[in-house]
Amino acid sequence: MFMGEYQHNIDTKGRIIVPSKFREELGENFVVTRGLDKCLFAYPMEEWKLLEEKLKKLPLTKKDARAFTRFFFSGAIECEIDKQGRINIPQTLRNYAALEKECVVIGVSNRIEIWSNENWETYFSDSEESFTEIAENLMDFDI
């Protein structure tokens, strides 16, 4: 399980350190793709394969299903951690998530997310204000 919040910088070549607590769980190879809310999602291969199977079951005849699948898979890349504990994020993904210098890497159960510091602060502050309401809405899911 991934959890925690870590501050890291991305360099001009698009390399960012993966927190050491996440490296073993991610494994040698893992997938990074466009996430929701203008961040990147990173999945261990096992989790990626489970997600892929679920997305394959979406009906091809539904426009939203096709759009989401395209969005998710077209941005996906397989990553490998280098000897310094970094991954290289392509420019297209850096542009999508507005990753320029200061970044936040967070653990979210079965995945990690990579955020620009600015986007994370905005998202967190906006969500913090409505956290109680969000929690009440999720109570129907037995949380």
pLDDT, one tens digit per residue, over 88-124 is 999 999 999 999 999 999 999 999 999 999 999 999 9
Which one, of 93, 134, 88, lies nearest residue 116 by Cα? 93
Map out the domains of the chain with their CATH numbers. 2-141 (3.40.1550.20)
pLDDT at res. 130: 81
95-134 CB burial, b ≥16 within 10 A, e <16? ebbebeeebbbbbeebbbbbbbbebbeeeeeeeeeeeeee
What is the percent of the chain with per-residue pLDDT over 70, rounded to a whole number? 97
Burial class (CB in 10 A: 0-12, 13-18, 19+), 12: exposed
Place of tokens 């426009």: 63
Contact 114, 42 (CB under 8 A): yes
**pTM for this predicted structure:** 0.92
Tell me the pLDDT tens digit for each residue of 28-44.
899 999 999 999 999 99
| 3-state SS, residue 81 | coil
